[in-house]
Amino acid sequence: MDLLKDFEAGKRPALARAISIVENQRTGFLDLLNRLYPRIGRAHRIGITGPPGAGKSTLTAALIAHYRSRGETVGVIAVDPTSPFTGGALLGDRIRMNDIAMDEGVFIRSMATRGSLGGLALTTKEVADVMDAFGFDRIIVETVGVGQSELDIAAAADTTVVVLVPESGDGIQAMKAGLMEAADLFVINKSDRPGADRLARDISTMLHFRSGQMLRNVPAHHGVDMKRIRARARGELLEPEPGADGAVAAWEIPVLKTIAETGEGVDALAAALERHRDWLNESGELSRRRRQRLTERVREEVARSVQRSVWVDRGGEAELERALPELEAGRLTPYEVAARILSG
């Protein structure tokens, strides 16, 4: 396979082609993923999500600059929002990002959200695998954190950053559920605008309340500690509290402030990302997450493979098409049609 040879030699056109094969599930994509598989697992995968207009792309650009100045290479996967509203804004950001893309140490790929054959979440992870196998040090996956699927994509990273802006404050009640679950780090971007401190305090209080309530990753004696809440709300990087049994402590989700446009706070964000990566390694959380992801990947691949087999290879689509008039007339139930397709 010439492609694989070129890929292993670090040639960018081979990377681009490999990604296209995987993204569009062209013939041989599973074979390719299988061959690349032994090479993955080295990159730090960072998910960046949040509402439209939070400055995710600008923050991504700032992080790229940070990593490049340290000689690290960066792969970026930008997942298009499903809403046509936000298409315009993101397009603007992306053009700015194209300047960065001239750098040989950076590779940017946009993913279409519609028409992804195997499900967007799975395909995005597989494109990240390809970048990982190519040897990028950091892989940043940027998604709009509105729908659950977009959140799932970001949450599939090693470290998930939820980016908000001061104006997000009043909306946090509404959107918190999914975002709170997904976040390893919070960033309040455009933090020179009014309301940043209040939002930081609200998030910190909510995080503290949650961890206290749910006793999740938190020692049992953990109570409401306003000093820590306030310190976190000031954007201070707190030392983790010691675990009750002397083990590596729980991860305390930081709330950071940035102004991505000027680069303010980006070094602190990168430091927090590094701390989280270290914590993942030391706490054993990385192994736990990895195991969970491996079994999830097997399930996703089984589902995709079966879907293809039933609907494409074994003519399920044609069978459904044929049954549709009887289905509509009520002469067949959906269950009868399903059974027919499965026996076909």
If one asks whether residue 176 binds its own copies (CB under 8 A), the answer comes out as yes
Is 305 a binding residue for its own copies by CB under 8 A? The answer is: yes
Binding of residue 286 to its own copies (CB under 8 A): no
Instruction: State yes or no: residue 307 binds its own copies (CB under 8 A).
Output: yes
User: Least distance in Å: CB of 274 to its own copies?
Assistant: 25
Q: Supply the DSSP symbol for 94.
A: H
148 binds its own copies, rule: CB under 8 A: yes
Which one among 171, 240, 242, 284 touches its own copies, defined by CB under 8 A? 171
Residue 168 as a binder of its own copies (CB under 8 A): the answer is yes
Find the binder of its own copies among 117, 180, 231, 271 (CB under 8 A): 180
The Cα–Cα gap between 47 and 183 comes to 9
Least distance from C-beta 313 to its own copies, angstroms? 12
14 vs 133, beta carbon nearer its own copies: 133
Closest to 150 in 3D by CA, of 91, 78, 96, 84:
78
324 belongs to the binding site for its own copies (CB under 8 A): yes
Task: Please report whether residue 290 would count as binding its own copies according to CB under 8 A.
Answer: yes
> By the 8 A CB rule, do 93 and 64 touch?
no
- The secondary structure element, H or E, covering residue 305 is helix 285-307
Buried (b) or exposed (e) across 4-34, using 16+ Cβ within 10 A? eebbeeeeeebbebbbebbbebeeebeebbe
End-to-end Cα separation, the chain, in angstroms: 36
226 binds its own copies (CB under 8 A): no
DSSP 196-255: HHHHHHHHHHHHHHHHHHHT-SS-TT----HHHHHHHHTT--PPPPPPTTSSPPPP---E
- Of the two residues 146 and 249, which places its CB atom closer to its own copies in the complex? 146
| Selected range binding its own copies among 92-100, 103-111, 276-284, 288-296, rule: CB under 8 A | 288-296
Which 8-state DSSP code applies to residue 136? -
Least spacing, CB of residue 287 vs its own copies, in Å: 8
Q: Is 169 in the site for its own copies (CB under 8 A)?
A: yes
Residue 69 near its own copies by CB under 8 A: no
Cα 270 to Cα 60: distance, rounded to the nearest angstrom: 11
The site that binds its own copies (CB under 8 A) totals a number of residues, namely: 68
Phi, psi of 278 (to 5 degrees): -60, -45
* Residue 315 near its own copies by CB under 8 A: no
156 exposed, middle or buried (CB, 10 Å; 0-12, 13-18, 19+)?
A: buried
Q: Which of 15, 46, 144, 185 binds its own copies (CB under 8 A)?
A: 144
Report yes or no: 66 and 267 within 8 Å, Cβ to Cβ.
yes
CB nearer to its own copies: pick between 31 and 274: 31
Least spacing, CB of residue 341 vs its own copies, in Å: 6
The DSSP string of 73-85 is -EEEEEEPPSSHH
Contact between 133 and its own copies per CB under 8 A: no
Q: Which of 1, 89, 95, 177 binds its own copies (CB under 8 A)?
A: 177
Binding site for its own copies (CB under 8 A): 30, 33-34, 37-38, 41, 51-53, 81-86, 144, 146-149, 167-178, 180-181, 210, 213-214, 287, 290-291, 294-295, 297-299, 301-303, 305-307, 310, 316, 320, 323-324, 327-328, 330, 333-339, 341-342
